Amino acid sequence: MIDAGLSRKETFQRLANIGEDPERLDAILVTHEHSDHVGGLLRLLRKVEALRRRQLPVFLSRLTAPAVDWEDYSPALEPFQAGSRFTIGDIEVSSFTIPHDAIDPVGYCFRAEGVKVGVVTDLGYLPESICHHLKGTDFLLLESNHDLDMLKVGPYPWSVKQRVMSRRGHLSNDLVSTFIGQSMDSNTATLVLGHLSEHNNHPEIARLTAAQAIEERGLETRLVVAEPGKQSEVFAF
């Protein structure tokens, strides 16, 4: 599991909806310490570990680990240096640094049985280093956080708008479109747009912007938009 921002109850329900048992979790990987990514982590760990009767490993960067409020709990941490590789079972995990206003945020790529999956959210732009890591991805979950026009006239204070638009903020639909048109691997079979803002974006705007870039480049990539508050389909390879 990557991140645990939802409540323990919601996470358990979503796992149940796809026929997965929380006791079968092998590990949780954390991208960064912001509450929408770790807000439900502690309660989730306590419940899962009570069911498993053993601790559940939590993988996160060495600098992120002390930034999470563990209260009086002692989790089974597996800290790593951002940019390193490691394995969980038969899955090879590659971490890489992303530009976001957190202590030491990372994205992940996963390889298993000849398939490569990339998961990248919460970043202000896509430097060449990240584009390099995403080469060869068969499946990519990428942030498409906001529409610039909606953000500018939206309800956020100007200071928050500046943060979101900054190079350590969040990806706009337009930046995603540029990535698709210039850098996305042509063999990427499925692109899922995620982490959409409920206030500053709309699923159809994100979809149309990305779809146009896919069409203009002549790609056959399947495009899916993960809508806020809704559980997506299950993707199988």
- Domain CATH code at residue 215: 3.60.15.10
Query: Which residue has 């002549």 as its token pair?
Result: 218
The Cα 164–Cα 151 span in angstroms is 9
Supply the pLDDT for residue 99. Answer: 98
One domain for residues 148 and 55: no
Quote the pTM value: 0.96
One domain for residues 154 and 204: yes
Supply the pLDDT for residue 57. Answer: 97
One domain for residues 42 and 137: no
Residue at 224 is within a domain: yes
Supply the pLDDT for residue 1. Answer: 97
One domain for residues 158 and 216: yes
Give the Å distances, CA to CA, from 54 to 24, 44, 76: 12, 13, 10
Residue at 93 is within a domain: no
One domain for residues 42 and 140: no
One domain for residues 123 and 51: no
Full residue range of the structural domain in which residue 132 is found: 114-228
One domain for residues 121 and 191: yes
Show which of 56, 81, 106 is a domain's final residue: 81
One domain for residues 77 and 122: no
Tell me the torsion sign for CA atoms 197, 237, 231, 105.
negative
One domain for residues 143 and 211: yes
One domain for residues 118 and 209: yes
Show which of 81, 106, 132 is a domain's final residue: 81
Supply the pLDDT for residue 37. Answer: 98
Spell out the alpha helix ranges (H) of the chain: 8-17, 35-38, 41-52, 128-133, 148-153, 158-165, 173-182, 203-217
Supply the pLDDT for residue 178. Answer: 98
One domain for residues 130 and 209: yes
Residue at 61 is within a domain: yes
pLDDT in tens, the chain (237 residues): 999 999 999 999 999 999 999 999 999 999 999 999 999 999 999 999 999 899 999 999 999 999 999 999 999 999 999 999 999 999 999 999 999 999 999 999 999 999 999 999 999 999 999 999 999 999 999 999 999 999 999 999 999 999 999 999 999 999 999 999 999 999 999 999 999 999 999 999 999 999 999 999 999 999 999 999 999 999 988
Contact status, residue 51 vs residue 22, Cβ threshold 8 Å: yes
Residue at 87 is within a domain: no
One domain for residues 128 and 222: yes
